[in-house]
Chains A and B, each alone.
Chain A
């Protein structure tokens, strides 16, 4: 079906991977020749590299480390930079990548997060930010209290796309305003002290499109609305929505096509109103 005539003749293709053995070691490039099969994606390429266990020069190598889980683009685990663009490895189809760049496929880890190993990065900061903005509906109890508030179809249709965010980090990787924060452990530092320092560092950095969009989601939920001010305040702190530079890469690279820039503008409006309130309603 997707056997394009240009690629059916291919026997192998080149894959170049930017590897790094540990956070402290230097990055290096490694080349692999992978046997072509129809309907491959980056995951199946990495699986082949792992099972082969050697690079194109015949050197025995450890398998490339990478994150993945669902392989159908709903879990958000396998984000990496493929041919210079951030995307999910599972939905990056080889036939299409080879059309884009026939000579080789280049894989590198996301550049905005600390590298753990090879293509695995540490995306804790995303989840830290979700805590910071209280991205949840604060119900009183999990006991049976009957159904939730009635909602119009329109409300659901506005909320649903936002709730599809899988925290993959593509929007952050492509954002020119979102910069990498890497905190390294000091000698003899305890887990708690290290984590505290890490959190403080995260709090100074840009919160990012995904988190702003979650604020919009929960501020429009009938129950979530009750804490709207707190959430808006959270995105007006240091590293908040004001850092956005409207490059709008987030919305362009989002694999779920979430209207992130609409969320940012709506949150911007809420922040404008909240800012005025804070000055004049005191």
Chain B
């Protein structure tokens, strides 16, 4: 055991949580990251982290309800056992982070304060100002530093993961990676590899994601044979601040703390927002969704803002689509205490004080619900078996995926403040399983024949050499990236149409071909960011193609994937009886669609055809039966009525399957 090592790739919340837990279990860990781990993208998470808690319990909340909100918000596309395990771990994760010194906001009495987030009616979200992700990451970073000082963890920062190393049985036995300073390519034997490399927002050019979120690490595993699930599900965050280099996130917590979204009823009203009286403001989310108001789930808020600007022409500005996110009715002191961090970002980058003027925001690509396909072992109580080496394992034995880069937990749409939970949870939860895998192994990876590692290293060295030798003046990687981003953003974000998607598939294919002729403007052997970027661009194409194909094939609306041609419209009937009749048909159609499409796409990369082979996998919905998402739909009441009658009938038909929540 002492010679065994685990390689964790990625030092965000998930990677750090796994590292510290493994170190505690006595495992030696190598931690590899593109950036110093303290600078990982997790710092950008703002709003908070969810769990059922003492305050919400008094109002009837339970972990089960957290599970229910999570799967309902995710449109039932996630396997429910992992989601259940996560919801039940929520309170434990937050307690641990509290003990690690995270500066969660406090109530007058000194308890942890909570705020409400989208897609729930409970105040489940613990937060540290408006920089919760940063605070959580730092707490884990500190713990990992502690283990580093104790000699259990070795960090490889400024290293780029190039590929997993597979033995002749296809078992992962290490990684090939490149030092971004010296450009040295090296093999690292590892008895298990955990990939925790986050999302792939950069496929869309500009997004709310950090520059490291190219998805290239996940893509390299995918190209090495790991399966990729639900690639077509990309969350577009409703509120971001457009910028030339990046679309900066404006946290959902702004709405959680009472922020209101509106546009002037008169298109491009030239008056300043303060001069527009209440009756001439269109609070469209509040009007269209009276129950959840501004806190509808993200996919819905995004579509509504998009609809207001694009279809209704009510954008605040004529040449740039945007709506107001207004906090000016809340006191300065309260804003500073609870949202200071994000308001400072807005002020710094826009030069306008959001405490005085409503912010101008528009949706932006934000999160990849999909990711590397990962396994789990279901427990008898419908959760996951603790300590099982199967949990979070990809289709390549010995290779694990956790955090944003796995495809579990969030289904077709992620609820706000659930990502931080899923990241820390998967890191903590998978570690004992990985430790058990190591226990069960007889042979140490480092003692495998050297040619396995040398071969992998020299393959990648030749790829690098080939890139550097390409004649100058051909395709420019930065230009291609921009074009890729434009195609993807146009075809595969808020609203998807098959004609646009098939067009995009052709265009991306062409870009992919052109990218094979990328030449480098820097052919040096020292801190060559040009070659690193070019490689990551090349690896964006398999993911982009998989995403587009998955989206093209999925002829339905589910969560973040919205195809208006396949939308289920609201009811039109004038009388209640008419509407009930319509609701019956609506529910029939819904059930039919569920049967056909409540399936995850699982892709395998086909290098020969340079495209994805997509299969579909049934979703484990054994805990919470799927039901229609009716946020704000016309006729929701009648559909609800019909649906609950059907559900009750089914319940009686299967007497053994009692409601697990009681």
Binding site for B on A (CB under 8 A): 1-2, 21-22, 37-41, 43-44, 47, 50-51, 53, 60-63, 65-77, 90-91, 93, 96, 116-118, 120, 123, 127, 130-131, 134-139, 141-142, 144-148, 150-153, 155-157, 159-160, 163-164, 166-167, 218, 221, 223-224
Contact = CB atoms under 8 A, between A and B. Distances in A.
12 contacts: A50-B530, A53-B476, A60-B472, A69-B211, A70-B39, A75-B43, A91-B348, A137-B139, A142-B24, A153-B105, A156-B104, A160-B128
A148 B98 contact: yes
A281 to B, nearest CB: 28
Contacts, number: 204
A224 B101 contact: yes
B98 A2 contact: no
Nearest to B43: A74
B659 interface: no
Contact of A75 (B129, B142, B145, B210): B210
B427 to A, nearest CB: 10
Contact of B249 (A72, A142, A146): A72
B39 A39 contact: no
B145 A69 contact: no
A1 B360 CA distance: 11
Closest A-B pairs by Cβ, 8 of them: A62-B522, A51-B478, A136-B142, A148-B98, A117-B527, A137-B101, A148-B99, A75-B39
Contacts of B101: 136-137, 148, 163, 218, 221, 223-224
B244 A39 contact: yes
* Residue among B108, B111, B522, B529 facing the most chain A CB atoms (10 A cut-off): B529
B134 A164 contact: yes
Nearest to A62: B522
Contacts of A146: 95
A252 B131 CA distance: 22
Contacts of A136: 101, 142-143, 145-146
A69 B135 CA distance: 17
A153 B110 contact: yes
Given A2-B350, A70-B41, A131-B149, A47 B478 contact: yes
Contacts of A73: 345, 348
A142 B103 contact: no
A135 B135 CA distance: 14
A38 B352 CA distance: 15
B245 A60 contact: no
A150 B246 contact: no
A119 to B, nearest CB: 11
Interface string B351-383: 110000000000000000000000000000000
Contacts of A53: 476, 521
A93 B476 contact: no
A22 B38 contact: no
A41 B349 CA distance: 9
Contacts of A65: 527, 529
A150 B521 CA distance: 56
B148 A131 contact: yes
B210 to A, nearest CB: 5
Contact of B248 (A38, A71, A142): A71
Contacts of B210: 69-71, 75
A93 B349 contact: yes
Nearest to A4: B351
A183 to B, nearest CB: 15
B479 interface: yes
B44 interface: yes
Contacts of B105: 153, 156
A84 B102 CA distance: 35
Interface in B16-49: 20-21, 24, 35-36, 38-41, 43-44
Given A70-B210, A91-B349, A63 B526 contact: no
Interface string B414-443: 000000000000001000000000000000
Given A148-B98, A163-B103, 5 more contacts: A41-B245, A134-B149, A142-B20, A153-B106, A166-B134
Contacts of A72: 44, 246, 248-249, 345, 349
A147 to B, nearest CB: 5
B276 to A, nearest CB: 18
A167 B38 contact: yes
Contacts of B59: none
A136 B148 CA distance: 12
A2 B234 CA distance: 31
Contacts of B529: 63, 65-66
Contact of B521 (A62, A66, A155): A62
B605 interface: no
B92 interface: yes
Given A2-B351, A116-B181, A145 B128 contact: no
Contact of B43 (A90, A151, A166): A166
B165 interface: no
Contacts of B211: 68-71
